[in-house]
Each structure stands twice: as C-alpha cells, then as structure tokens.
Amino acid sequence: MVKKMQKNDDIITTGQAMALVINAAIGIGLLSLPREVTSEAGPDGWLVLLLGGFFTLMGALAAAAIIRQLDGRTFVDYVCFVFGKPVGLILSILYGIYFIIVLSSVFRTFAEVMKNLALERTPREFLILSLMLVSVYLIYHGLEPTARFMEFILPLWFIPSVVILSLGLYDSDFGEFLPFLQTPLEKLLLGSLSTAMSMAGYEVLLVSAQSVSRHEKISYVMAVSIIVVLAFYALILVTVVTSLGIAETQRAIWPTLAMITRITVPGKILERLDVVVVIVWVVVVYTTVCAYYFAAALTFTNIFKAREFRSFIALLFPWIYFLAMIPQNVLEAESLAKLGGNMVIATSFAIPLLLLIGGLLKKRVKKDEA
C-alpha cells in the first residue's frame, strides 16, 4: 500500500536525471582539462572547449532522441533492434567495456592524485579498494537511491568549488588568452574531440534510460546538464590559465591542482584551501564512479537479460580493480584515460548518431510496410 504513494524504486525524476548527468560528467577531467585544451590550441583553448561543448551537446541531444524512441525497451534491446542481434550485442559490449575502462582510469587517476595531494604513504590498493567498496554500497541499492544521492550531493561540492575557483580570479591576468584565433581550424576541431572525454557522462543516462520518468523532458535535461558542465569547465579553464599562464598550464600534469594551491584568500580568512580541494576531489570522483559503475553493471545485466544487476556489480569488481592496477606510473595511467577518451568518440557521438539515423529509418520502413 505504501508502495503506491511513494515513487517506484527504479524511476528517477527529471532533476535526479540532471544531477546524475552532471555528476557523471564532472570527474577527473576537472584536473587535466586545462592542460589538454591548452596543449592543443594554446591561448585558443577556450574555443576548443566551446567546440567540444557544442559537439557534446549534439551527441547528448542525439542520445535524448534515442531515449524518446525506447518505448520501455532497454538500450541494449534498442541497439539490437536497429542493427540486428550480432552487431547490436557487439556494440553493447563495447559500451560495457568503455564503462569499465573509464572506471578503471578514474580510480587509478584518483589514487595517483590522492597520493600526490594528501596521502603520500598510503598504498594505491587501499585507496582504490576503499573507494570501490563505498561506491558498491551505494549502487547496490539501485538507480533511484543513486540518483537521489547525486541530487543531494551536487550542491554540496558544486557551490564550494565555484566559490574557490572564483577566488582564483582574484588577481588574474586575462592577457594570457592573447593572441586570439591563431590556431588552424582542423586543430581546433581535433582538439575539441579530446575534451569530449571530460564532458561525456550522458551515456550513463542513455543506458539506464528505461528508468527515467518523463521521456518528453529528456532533451531539456540533457541540454541543461551539458551547459552546466560546460560552464563549470569554462570557469576552471579561465581561472587556471589566467593565474598560471599558458606555458605552465601546458606543462603541469594536473594544472588545476597547481593553481588551487596558489590561491590566497583575500582577507586571510583561510590560509590554505587544500582541505576543501581534497573534499571536493573525493566527492567528485565518487559520484563519477558510482554513475559509471552502475551503468556498467546495468549494461551487462541487459546484455545477458539477467534480472538482478547486483550480481554484475560483484562480477565486474575484480576486472575494474585489476585494470586500474595495470598502469605502472602516472603516464601510463594517463594513457589508460586516453584510451577511454578515444572510445568516448564512438560511444558518445558515433554510435548514438548512427543509432538515431538507423532507428528512424527502420521506423519509416516499418511504417511503409504497414
């Protein structure tokens, strides 16, 4: 009886979907994005970011269009319906692998940053395993609690980090963005693809779309979330570049971190912001891994048409962990992240677009037949 008046456990609201996408998107890119865009385009990095944001928005809108076509089917079902069973299953597995790779690289980068930032002597194994276990605890309860968690936690880290970043603008040099428009167009376009990894995250919503309550509002959800993510990254980029300068931004592994350790709060209210940085960093990574971990488990559940996604959380656990432990050093961890970044072009742009076109064609063919 009580079930009736409360929301079904597997249905999430529009606001929760939005929080899920934002939390999934903002992750480790937070630290490396300024370096990626400036090394591609120098002072024109912000253009790269904007272009990347534009492409992401297009991909997200395509994903939203697909979600509206689902009609209660799972994403895997839909892919199989459009491309036929064998190709569909391969593509679905590709999604699953992509989620796992992203997860591993996030866990690994997280461990590296934590060792660098706060816990020099703590073993990586402990850092990764503990975070994995806490994320398993949340996603074990299903999508709805996970999404509610995202909704709850979003302002708790978003607002403080915006405040900190704004403090970074205190004494900044906007001249760093000059000279203007010196980069060739093809370089801008190529560079924009490299930002895709940082902004992607809506695939999580794509694979768990059968649980979103109002499909007609999904484009709005996607658009708002991507714009929020883009604005947040733009703030980071501007703050980092104006306070570090282009050259140093290109050189540092995690330029955002380098910038924040230099911020001095006006009025000497707080001498060091490291504590806040650690808090924001852990929370941001946690929300990302929860979203991706759930998406990975759900994708495999749907591929095997299993009833219970919980067993897949356990089954994926060792794979994610060992993949995260493979890289020997920070640079190899970076290349693992790059691998995920390359796959994102397929999973976030190419496949959704093909799927959308294929799905619409198939629909039309069916209509003609009828």
Partner 1 sequence: MGNIFKNLFNKKKTEIFFERDMTPDKSKKLYKDVDENIKVFKEYLSDCDDLITREFLVGNPQTPKHRMVIFGIDGLIDKQLVQEEIMKSLMLYARQLPLEHSVGDRFFQLIKEGLLTVVEVKESDNFGEMLLAVLSGDTALFIDKMDRGLILNTRGWERRGVQEPSSEAMVRGPRDGFTETYRVNVALVRRRIKDPNLKVQTIRLGRHTRTDVGVLYIKGIANPSIVEEVLKRLNTIDIDGVLESGYIEQLIVDNWLSLFPQFRRTERPDVVAACLLEGNVVIMCDNTPFALIVPITFYSLFQSAEDYYELWYIASLLRLLRFVAAVLAISAPAFYVAMISYHPGMLPTALALSIAATREGVPFSSTVEALIMMLALEVLREAGVRLPGPIGQTIGIVGGLVVGEAAVRAGIVSPIMVIIIAINAISSFAVPNYSLAISFRLLAFVFLFLASIAGLYGILLGYLGLIAHLVTLKSFGVNYLSPIVWFDIKKMKDMVIRAPLHFMKERPEYTHPVDRQRQPDRGIRREGSGEENAEK
Kindly state the tokens that stand for 302.
């749907």
- Would you count residue 160 as binding partner 1 (CB under 8 A)? no
Query: Which one, 193 or 285, has the nearer CB to partner 1?
Result: 285
**How big is the site for partner 1, counted in residues (CB under 8 A)?**
36
- Contact between 282 and partner 1 by CB under 8 A: the answer reads yes
260 binds partner 1 (CB under 8 A): no
The reply to whether 153 sits near partner 1 by the rule CB under 8 A is yes
Asked if 4 interacts with partner 1 (CB under 8 A), we say yes
- What residues have CB less than 8 Å from 212, skipping those under 6 apart? 11, 12, 14, 17, 67, 205, 218, 221
Burial 23-62 (b: 16+ CB within 10 A, else e): bbbbbbbbbbbbbbbbbbbbbbbbbbbbbbbebbbebbbb
> Is there binding between residue 275 and partner 1 (CB under 8 A)?
yes
Tell me: does residue 148 bind partner 1 (CB under 8 A): yes
Q: Does 141 bind partner 1 (CB under 8 A)?
A: yes
Rule CB under 8 A: say whether 265 interacts with partner 1: no
Give the x/- contact pattern for partner 1 in 15-54, rule: CB under 8 A. x---------------------------------------
Kindly state whether residue 155 participates in binding partner 1, applying the rule CB under 8 A.
Answer: yes
**Comparison of 138 and 206: residue with beta carbon closer to partner 1:** 138
Residues 205/212, Cβ–Cβ less than 8 Å: yes
What whole-number distance in Å separates Cα of residue 303 and Cα of residue 76? Answer: 6
- In the range 108-137, which residues lie near partner 1 by CB under 8 A? 114, 118-119, 122, 126-127, 130-131, 134, 137
Residues 141/135, Cβ–Cβ less than 8 Å: no
Instruction: Provide the b/e sequence for 330-354 (b: ≥16 CB within 10 Å).
Output: eeebbebbebbbebbbebbbebbbb
List 36, 44, 151, 203, residue binding partner 1 (CB under 8 A): 151
CA distance 193 to 258: 25
The window from 3-11, 100-108, 169-177, 312-320 that contacts partner 1 (CB under 8 A) reads: 3-11
d(CA 90, CA 79) in angstroms, rounded, equals 10
Closer CB to partner 1, 70 or 131, in the complex: 131
CB nearer to partner 1: pick between 7 and 364? 7
Q: State yes or no: residue 271 binds partner 1 (CB under 8 A).
A: yes
Q: Is 367 in the site for partner 1 (CB under 8 A)?
A: no
Among 28, 50, 103, 138, binds partner 1 (CB under 8 A): 138
Q: What are residue 12's phi and psi, to 5 degrees?
A: -115, 150
Spatial CA neighbour of 146 closest among 4, 303, 309: 309
d(CA 295, CA 292): 5
279 binds partner 1 per the rule CB under 8 A: yes
Instruction: Compose the 283-302 pattern: x for residues touching partner 1 by CB under 8 A, - for all others.
Output: x--x----------------
Residues 119 and 101: beta-carbon distance below 8 Å: no
Closest CB to partner 1 among 286 and 309?
286
Three-class SS state of 66: helix
Q: Any contact of residue 164 with partner 1 (CB under 8 A)?
A: no
DSSP codes joined into one string, 294-361: HHHHHHHHHHTT-S-SHHHHHHHHHHHHHHHH---SHHHHHHHHHHHHHHHIIIIIIHHHHHHHHHHH
Stretch that binds partner 1, among 149-157, 203-211, 247-255, 349-357 (CB under 8 A): 149-157
The Cα angle at residue 103 between residues 295 and 221, in degrees rounded to 5: 45
Using the rule CB under 8 A, give the single segment among 82-90, 170-178, 278-286, 348-356 that binds partner 1. Answer: 278-286
In whole angstroms, how close is the CB of 114 to partner 1 at the nearest point? 6
Best CA proximity match to 16, nearest among 172, 208, 179: 208
Footprint of partner 1 (CB under 8 A) = 1-6, 15, 114, 118-119, 122, 126-127, 130-131, 134, 137-138, 141, 145, 148-149, 151-155, 271-272, 274-275, 278-279, 282-283, 286
